[in-house]
Structure 1
Amino acid sequence: MTTSPKTAIVLGTGLGQLASEITDRYEFPYQEIPNFPVSTVEGHSGKLIFGKLGGVDIMAMQGRFHFYEGYSMKDVTFPVRVMYELGIETLFVSNAAGGMNPDFKIGDLMIITDHINFFPEHPLRGKNFPTGPRFPDMHETYDHNLIAEAEEIAKEKGIKLQHGVYVGVQGPTFETPAEYKMYRILGGDAVGMSTVPEVIVAHHCGIKTFGISVITDLGGFDVPVEVSHEEVQEAANMAQPLMTAIMREMIARAESIEAHNKEQFNTAHPTEEWKSQK
């Protein structure tokens, strides 16, 4: 059995159950894939899955890699490079995050509209890959058309969505009260230990990206709240049905969104080929 996916999804902490809806599937444990790291975090299964979701060919990472596990940024983002070589054009990323925005509640879903990169190593550091320019523009890192599609789907399904800036940090410690306050002052709405490296490399490759966070804990307020990894997983699992509903429908519509992006590009660049930009 073969598939030709144009869409990939990275399933984060407590959100891997979407993989159970993939049909006609075949999967590869990370340890069986040459040069792939192996996830060491509880709740991250460690499989690369190919199949269909809502009738759309899809590639899914069930479990991701983190800088705090000791991997280099090249290791962390290696799967995105593989996605590019396999022809992936749209990437969906999800994560669990701590909320600093006072309007947020545990269990909220936050569309990532932008990010702040606090990782100590940049994923594009070193020799430039020919997939993109040496100094890539980052003005629309999270695709506006995909965000609009998510908003429409959420409205149709009566799902409340938050919007905000995701702060990417190395971990593995959760943030101190002072750090939560600092990130909030700097413009962050939620903070987590993943996503930013993968998104930067995907953007460098010309892959359209959509990101969404489950707010699993809160910080930076007057009353400090302790948090554990188990509580993060529990909160993410409780929010999973809403996340799954949005992701499932977005992936089903992904091909039409990509066709719209292609039409927009060809209208603006009538003498250039869409694929040459990929």
Structure 2
Amino acid sequence: MPAPTLDDPSTPPTAVAQLAAAEIARRTGVERHEIALTLGSGWGRAAERLGEVVARIPAEEVPGFSASGIPGHSGTLTSIRLEGGLHALVIGARTHFYEGRGVRRVVHSVRTAAEAGAQVMVLTNGAGGIDPSWEPGTPVLISDHINLTAASPLEGATFIDVTDLYSQRLRALAREVDPSLAEGVYVQFRGPQFETPAEVRMARTMGGHIVGMSTALEAVAAREAGVEVFGISLITNLAAGISDSPLSHLEVLEAGRNAEDRLADLLSRIVARIAGDLAAR
């Protein structure tokens, strides 16, 4: 009997996530990863400071995953032992909606994290800032999102409450680490083209502060799976029309490289604070 795949609409996507989680447990020897992190553009170095690396797995060797085709993503799944004994699963193989592989593949990493035991899902990204005071390299907490992809990871009559999708409790823990952290509403566009100035004005009118091409669909899938969500964006550039500079992915990567040491330190301290909170429960 063939193994279930995400491309088979009759197969529940959680079945493939369970296979992936079982393979991760087998390859790492870790039964449960309490925290999972998806590291977007600019955040990759954070994995080095979280703790002791237990194992690195090429993503394409795990059911439902594929090698990352986006510059700035490692293409690996990494198991890390945190101080205090908890474990983190670091996902460096994000599938973006604009790649055209379907929503199931976009959120497969989140569903796998939930099946691997994650209680907290940390979603990071590189994004454009609408607030002109946010210079490239500024980290901003995500307080809410607007999904402009015209898609959802939920299948069938699945109704979930997303009123408090991005955990206020976890944002408060992050501010214990850095009280200066700003927060804003993330707007996910379909991509892969950058937003037009008119689209950015629309996002601002709708209440958005950050624009990008990931995260929102993943956050909804995490909520469906019962996982608490923490989101944080790296402002890699001012959004179209906010400044006169043209936009490019090279600019995104450069901003990430320039800020990577500071971001790695910040995220490692936030994860340590979250892990300490989980361990104390």
TM-score range, shorter chain: 0.7 to 0.9
| Matches of 1:204 and 1:64, distance apart in 2 | 19
- Whether 2:230 is the aligned partner of 1:183: answer no
Q: Specify whether residues 147 and 68 from structure 1 end up closer, same or farther in structure 2 by C-alpha distance, changes over 3 A only.
A: same
- Whether 2:36 is the aligned partner of 1:12: answer no
- Contact kept, 8 Å, 1:92 with 1:211, in 2: the verdict is yes
> TM-score under structure 2 normalisation?
0.84
| Matches of 1:196 and 1:80, distance apart in 2 | 12
| Matches of 2:239 and 2:60, distance apart in 1 | 36
Partner of 1:255: 275
| Matches of 1:53 and 1:216, distance apart in 2 | 28
- Spell out the pairing of 1:103-122 with structure 2 (5 A cutoff): 103-122=133-152
Gaps of 5+ in 2: 1-27
Q: CA deviation at 1:52?
A: 1.6
1:150 to 174, 199, 223: 174
The answer to which of 168-177 and 11-20 deviates more is: 11-20
Give percent identity, aligned residues only. 36
- Whether 2:164 is the aligned partner of 1:140: answer yes
The answer to which of 184-193 and 218-227 deviates more is: 218-227
- Contact kept, 8 Å, 1:40 with 1:69, in 2: the verdict is no
- Report the 3-state secondary structure (helix = DSSP H, G, I; strand = E; otherwise coil) of the residue aligned with 2:178: helix
Partner of 1:69: 99
1:205 to 225, 231, 251: 225
Q: CA deviation at 1:221?
A: 4.2
Q: Specify whether residues 223 and 58 from structure 1 end up closer, same or farther in structure 2 by C-alpha distance, changes over 3 A only.
A: closer
Gaps of 5+ in 1: 129-133, 263-278
- Whether 2:82 is the aligned partner of 1:26: answer no
- Contact kept, 8 Å, 1:165 with 1:187, in 2: the verdict is yes
| Matches of 1:99 and 1:187, distance apart in 2 | 13
- Contact kept, 8 Å, 2:196 with 2:241, in 1: the verdict is no
Partner of 1:2: 29
Partner deviation per Cα, 1:181-212 (whole Å, 9 max, x = no partner): 11111110010001111111001111011111
Partner of 1:38: 67
- Report the 3-state secondary structure (helix = DSSP H, G, I; strand = E; otherwise coil) of the residue aligned with 2:69: coil
Q: CA deviation at 1:258?
A: 3.1
Partner deviation per Cα, 1:152-190 (whole Å, 9 max, x = no partner): 1013xxxx4221000011110011111111111111001
Partner deviation per Cα, 1:89-122 (whole Å, 9 max, x = no partner): 0111110000112332221111000000111221
- Contact kept, 8 Å, 1:92 with 1:209, in 2: the verdict is yes
Partner of 1:274: none
| Matches of 2:46 and 2:75, distance apart in 1 | 14
The answer to which of 68-77 and 52-61 deviates more is: 52-61
> Aligned letter for 1:10?
T
Partner of 1:227: 247
- Contact kept, 8 Å, 1:219 with 1:225, in 2: the verdict is no
The answer to which of 229-238 and 243-252 deviates more is: 243-252
- Spell out the pairing of 1:39-54 with structure 2 (5 A cutoff): 39-54=68-83
Aligned-pair RMSD on alpha carbons?
1.8
- Contact kept, 8 Å, 2:141 with 2:231, in 1: the verdict is yes
> Aligned letter for 1:2?
G
- Whether 2:123 is the aligned partner of 1:93: answer yes
> TM-score under structure 1 normalisation?
0.84
Count of matched residue pairs: 251
Q: Specify whether residues 222 and 249 from structure 1 end up closer, same or farther in structure 2 by C-alpha distance, changes over 3 A only.
A: closer
> Aligned letter for 1:198?
E
> Aligned letter for 2:46?
L
